[in-house]
């Protein structure tokens, strides 16, 4: 086989380019920490990596749904806890008004406080989270209660998928928590304004029923919040596991790549030195 200077030069350039490509690939891996940047980098590893990335995206989306659900449930619990405190205060006022020793002006003063507490109950029933009304069912863009405590929402509940096949309710319709409270407060206010101790005494059972209703709603939201925390913990562990598996297939061993990079740099320098020695002599050098 006849070896010409041209063929030696082409072979040298081909090897030099191959060395540069390996250097580029190693530098890219060091810069990103990833072994795979394109499907051709590791075709057999691509399908499981894509499956794991899909699984990680799904887990992260479930995590966001869980956080949203927890936010709504926590806000609902805070509103109902405040509502329970108001009902306790209403009951105290009813007990005072029912003892028959208060003057008409005192009864009217109690009625005014009941009126203010009713207004606060309406405010709690119209609680918003991020611009959405919490107790309106799925009707979240308008206040679910008017100033008289009439419910304007619907009976639906906001739901979130928090895992494959698991859907949790994040809210409760306001009429299931506040309806008896508004009714009892209104009746109590009327009885106090009328100065009728017997009628005021009769509202105690209504207030107890309203308390039972609100506490039941509060317990329901609390139970869901506890479940959300359990699922959140499980999702965090699952995300960590998927990330570890993905890292094992995608991430580079930094120390190993650094050694490879140094080796390739040495090879590149040696190739340049060899090329300089190879190309410099020519026939002209011997004809002088």
pLDDT tier at 101, thresholds 50, 70, 90 = confident
Query: Per-residue pLDDT tens for 55-73?
Result: 999 999 999 999 999 999 9
Q: Given a cut of 90, is residue 181 above it in pLDDT?
A: yes
pTM of the shown model = 0.79
Query: Per-residue pLDDT tens for 246-261?
Result: 988 888 888 998 999 9
Q: Given a cut of 60, is residue 78 above it in pLDDT?
A: yes
Please provide the average confidence, as pLDDT, over all residues in the chain.
91
Burial pattern 259-285, b for ≥16 Cβ within 10 A else e, equals ebbeebeeebeebeeebeeeeeeeeee
């Amino acid at each position: 086989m006849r070896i010409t200077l041209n063929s030696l030069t082409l072979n040298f350039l081909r090897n030099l380019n191959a060395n540069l490509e390996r250097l580029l690939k190693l530098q890219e891996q060091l810069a990103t920490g990833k072994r795979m940047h394109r499907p051709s980098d590791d075709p057999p590893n691509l399908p499981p990596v894509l499956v794991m990335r899909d699984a990680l995206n799904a887990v992260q989306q479930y995590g966001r749904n869980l956080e949203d659900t927890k936010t709504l449930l926590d806000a609902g619990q805070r509103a109902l806890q405040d509502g329970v405190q108001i009902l306790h205060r209403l009951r105290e006022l009813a007990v005072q008004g029912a003892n028959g020793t208060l003057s008409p002006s005192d009864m009217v003063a109690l009625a005014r406080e009941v009126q203010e507490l009713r207004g606060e109950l309406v405010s709690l029933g119209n609680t918003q989270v991020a611009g959405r009304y919490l107790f309106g069912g799925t009707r979240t863009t308008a206040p679910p209660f008017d100033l008289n405590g009439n419910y304007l929402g619907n009976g639906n509940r906001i739901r979130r998928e928090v895992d494959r096949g698991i859907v949790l309710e994040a809210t409760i319709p306001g009429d299931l928590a506040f309806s008896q409270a508004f009714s009892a407060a209104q009746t109590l206010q009327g009885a106090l304004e009328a100065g009728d101790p017997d009628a005021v005494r009769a509202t105690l059972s209504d207030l107890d029923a309203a308390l039972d209703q609100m506490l039941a709603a509060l317990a329901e939201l609390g139970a869901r919040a506890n479940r959300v925390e359990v699922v959140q913990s499980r999702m965090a562990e699952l995300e960590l596991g998927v990330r570890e598996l993905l890292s094992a297939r995608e991430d580079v061993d930094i120390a190993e790549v650094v050694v490879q990079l140094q080796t390739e740099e040495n090879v590149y320098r040696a190739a340049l030195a060899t090329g300089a020695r190879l190309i410099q002599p020519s026939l002209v050098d011997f004809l002088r």
